[in-house]
Amino acid sequence: MSIARKILSNTLFQIIGKVITAGLSILIVKIITNYLGVAGYGQYTTIYEFLAFFGIAADLGIYTIAVREMSKDKAKIPHIIGNVLSIRTLLALFLMSLAAGISFLIPKYDDTLIPMGIAIASVSTFFSLLSGTISSVLQVYLKMQYSVIALVISKLVSTGYMLMVVFYFYKDYSASGFFQLLVAGVCGNLLLVALTWLFTKRFTEIRHRFDFSYWKKITVKALPYGIALVLSTLYFRMDTILLSLMKDLDEVGMYGVAMRMLDVLVIIPVYFMNSVLPVMTRYLEEKSEKITKLIQYSFDFLLAMGVPIVAGVFVLSKKIVQLVSTEEFVSGNLFEYGADIALVILIFALLFSFINSLFGFTLVAMGKQIKLLWINLFCVIFNLVSNLIVIPSYGFRGAASTSVLSEIFILIATFYVVKKILKINLNLKKAVKIVFAGIVMGVCVYYLNLQTAAWGIKNLMLLIPAGGVIYGLMLYFTKVVDREILALLGIKRK
C-alpha cells in the first residue's frame, strides 16, 4: 500500500470513528440540554472548558513530539513510549489536582455546581490523557482503527450511563443527576484507557519507564510546542471562561452548544495531520523533494474537508441547533441571539483552523516549535484584549468574532514562516474549484431546505446526504478529484 493511501486510510478510520462518536455526542448534547436547561448547560460547558486549559498543559506537546521521535526509529518505541507515559501520568495527576483546587477558590463559581463538577470531570480528563499517550504508538504504525474501536465502545458506555441517569435514576433535574452525568464520562474514559492499552500491546510493550536523562531530552524538545499548544488552547477557549466570568451562564450555555459542535469537527484536521506527521518527518529528515507535494496534497485535502462543513452549517445552523439541543437555544425564542448565531460565526474559525493545522504541524516536523510559540503568544494577547473589549457589549457574538480573527492571524503567520523556510508555493487552482463546489452545494441545499421546510428538522435526513452528493459530484466534474486521487482510492477513471 502506498504511503499516501496509508495516510488516507488511517485518517478515514479516525473520521468514521468520529462520525459515530459525533452522533453519540449530538445525542448527549440533546439529552443534557433538555435535562439541564440553558443555565445548567452553561455550568456543564464551563467545567469542560476550564479543564481544557489544564488538559493541554498536561499534554505539554509530548504526544506530537513522541510521534515524531518514534517515527525516526521504531526500534526505540518501547523506550520512548514508556518514558513519555510516565511523564504524562505525573503531569496529568498534578495538573488535574491543581485544576480542581483552583476552581474552589474562584468567587464567581461560589454557590454553583462548577467546582465539584470540575473535581469529578478531572478524573475523566486524566484517563483521556493516558489513552491518548498510549495511542501515539498506533499513530506511528498508522493503525488508528484500533484506537477508533476503543473510542466508540467507550463512548457507547458513557452514553448508556447518561441515558440511565436522565431517564431512570434522576428523572427530575437535581445536583446528584448533574454530577452523575460527569461520572458517566469517567467510566467511559476508564474503559478507553483499558482498551487502548490492550490493542497497543499487539505492537509494542507498554509499561512505565524512568530514564530521567531521556525525560530531560524529550521535555526540552516538547516544551516550546507544549507552550504553543497551551497558548493555542487559551486563544480558542478563553472566550468561554471570560463569558462565564463577565456574563451570565445563559450566554455560556448558548455559546457552549456551538462550541460543542466545533469540538466534534475540529479534531478532523488533527487526525489527518497526526497521520501525515510520521511521513512528513521522514521526508524532512531525508531532505526529500516529496515534502512540497505532501504539503500541497494536505492543503487540498483539508480545504476540501472544511468547505462543505462551512457551507452546510451556514445554511442550516438553526435546524442543527434545534436538532442537538432545544428550541430555547435558537434565536428569537427566549433570547434574541441564540446558539445558531454563534455557530454561524464560529464555523468560519473552524475552516481557518483546518488549514492552520497543516502549517502548525509542519513547523513541528521541522523542529521549529519556537516559531509557533511566539505566533500563538501574540494571538493570545490579541484574543484576551479583544474579548475584554467586546464581550461586555456583544457577549458571545463578540467572542466568536474574535475567534475568527485569531484563526486568520494564525493562518497568515504560520504560512509565512513555513514558506520562508521551505521555499514552497501553494497551487490554488484546486482551492478555487473547492470553494466553488462548496458555494454550489450551499445554494442547492438552501433551496432544497425551502422546498421541504414543512418537514421541520426531519428534512436534515435529506439535506445532509443530498449536500454531500452534490459536493462530491462538483469535485468530480471540476476535476478536483483527479486520476491521482482516484488511484489512491483504488478507482480507475476512464
pLDDT level of residue 489 (50, 70, 90 thresholds):
very low
Q: What is the pLDDT of residue 202?
A: 85
Mean pLDDT computed over 125-145: 83
Q: Are 251 and 396 in contact (CB under 8 A)?
A: yes
pLDDT higher than 80, residue 118? yes
Q: Are 136 and 81 in contact (CB under 8 A)?
A: yes
* Global pTM exceeds 0.85: no
pLDDT level of residue 471 (50, 70, 90 thresholds):
very high
Q: Are 58 and 230 in contact (CB under 8 A)?
A: no
Mean pLDDT computed over 325-336: 74
Cα–chain center distance at 141:
22
pLDDT level of residue 31 (50, 70, 90 thresholds):
confident
Mean pLDDT highest for which of 16-20, 108-112, 223-227, 428-432?
A: 428-432
Q: What is the pLDDT of residue 492?
A: 46
Q: Are 391 and 246 in contact (CB under 8 A)?
A: yes
Mean pLDDT computed over 314-343: 82
pLDDT level of residue 287 (50, 70, 90 thresholds):
confident
Q: What is the pLDDT of residue 12?
A: 66
pLDDT higher than 90, residue 320? no
Q: What is the pLDDT of residue 352?
A: 92
Among the ranges given (229-233, 436-440, 468-472), the one the predictor scored with the smallest mean pLDDT: 229-233
Cα–chain center distance at 151:
14
10 Å CB burial of residue 484 (0-12, 13-18, 19+) is: exposed
Percent of the chain residues topping a pLDDT of 90: 24
**Cα dihedral 146, 70, 363, 487 sign:** negative
Q: What is the pLDDT of residue 9?
A: 63
- Chain segment 171-207, per-residue pLDDT in tens: 887 888 899 999 999 999 999 999 999 999 888 888 8
Q: What is the pLDDT of residue 20?
A: 76
Domain coordinates of the chain in residue numbers? 3-427
Q: What is the pLDDT of residue 263?
A: 74
Q: What is the pLDDT of residue 93?
A: 92
Q: What is the pLDDT of residue 309?
A: 93
Better pLDDT: 160 or 171: 160
